[in-house]
């Protein structure tokens, strides 16, 4: 990417929300609400400190409370309105929301094993259950909104606070890693990724808080 062309790109900081009560209890959140823990608030404050010198031109957030609260903390004293969107929400988990993750794994163990044997390309449209959002549906709504933001804010810098699921799927979709190289849980609470976008393409420039295991494990 040429230097002069890069100046027209939107700079996106994609941040995952801080730790929540359900994160600690290993309860599936999906699009249900769960408040930040004291640790989660501290994590958000630490990220706010890392990003305090960034001149954000706009702030977007998932409309779920855990993301909005994280955005409010990172905002500090910037005079910006946090714009919320359902398109930035976590994956919809249907009837599994509010249930322990072990119930999810045990109930869907055959489906999960089946998905494990699929190629990355085949797994995008694979349905775990009728009421669970597929990878393809999740990443399509997320990327569509990021492209809209990038087009609306050329040469600007934008904070986007979302969730581990959509940010992970986004990174996989743009080729940052293969699925086995970036399993679920790889993206830490309040971690962030710096992205450049022209409204079509995305380029990863910096990662903070992502565990990308070597050898795909």
CATH of the domain at 36: 3.40.50.1240
| Catalytically annotated residue among 4, 6, 17, 38 | 17
pLDDT greater than 90 at residue 11 = yes
Q: How confident is the model at residue 185 (pLDDT cuts 50, 70, 90)?
A: confident
Mean pLDDT of 97-113: 95
Q: Model confidence over 132-167: pLDDT tens digits?
A: 999 999 999 999 999 999 999 999 999 999 999 999
pLDDT greater than 60 at residue 215 = no
Please state whether 14 falls in left (phi above 0), alpha (psi between -120 and 50) or beta. Answer: beta
Mean pLDDT of 32-52: 97
Residue reference for tokens 């009421």: 131
| Catalytically annotated residue among 90, 97, 133, 163 | 90
More confident residue, 130 or 213: 130
Domain containing 116 equals: 3-216
Q: What is the pTM of this model?
A: 0.93
What average pLDDT does the structure give for the chain? Answer: 93
Q: What's residue 180's pLDDT?
A: 85
Residue reference for tokens 């100046």: 7
Q: How confident is the model at residue 35 (pLDDT cuts 50, 70, 90)?
A: very high
Q: What residue spans of the chain are helical by DSSP H?
A: 3-6, 21-25, 38-50, 65-75, 101-107, 109-116, 120-123, 135-152, 164-173
Percentage of the chain modeled with pLDDT above 70: 94
Structural domains counted in the chain: 1
90 is catalytic: yes
């Amino acid at each position: 990417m040429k230097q002069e062309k890069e100046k027209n790109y939107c700079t996106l900081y994609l941040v995952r929300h801080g730790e929540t009560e359900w994160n600690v209890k290993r309860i599936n959140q999906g699009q249900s609400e769960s408040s930040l823990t004291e640790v989660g608030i501290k994590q958000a404050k630490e990220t706010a400190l890392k990003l305090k010198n960034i001149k954000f031109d706009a702030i977007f957030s998932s409309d779920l409370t855990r993301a909005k609260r994280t955005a409010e903390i990172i905002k500090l004293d910037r005079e910006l309105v946090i714009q919320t969107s359902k398109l930035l929400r976590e994956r919809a988990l249907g009837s599994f929301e509010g249930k322990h993750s072990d119930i999810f794994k045990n109930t869907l163990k055959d489906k999960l094993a089946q998905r494990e044997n699929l190629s990355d390309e085949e797994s995008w449209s694979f349905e775990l259950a009728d009421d669970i959002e597929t990878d393809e549906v999740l990443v399509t709504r997320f990327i569509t909104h990021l492209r809209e933001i990038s087009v609306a804010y050329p040469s600007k810098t934008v904070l986007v606070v979302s969730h581990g699921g959509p940010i992970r799927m986004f990174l996989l979709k743009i080729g940052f890693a293969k699925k086995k190289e970036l399993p679920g849980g790889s993206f830490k609470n309040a971690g962030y990724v710096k992205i450049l976008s022209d409204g079509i393409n995305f380029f990863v420039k910096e990662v903070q808080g992502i565990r990308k295991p070597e050898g795909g494990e």
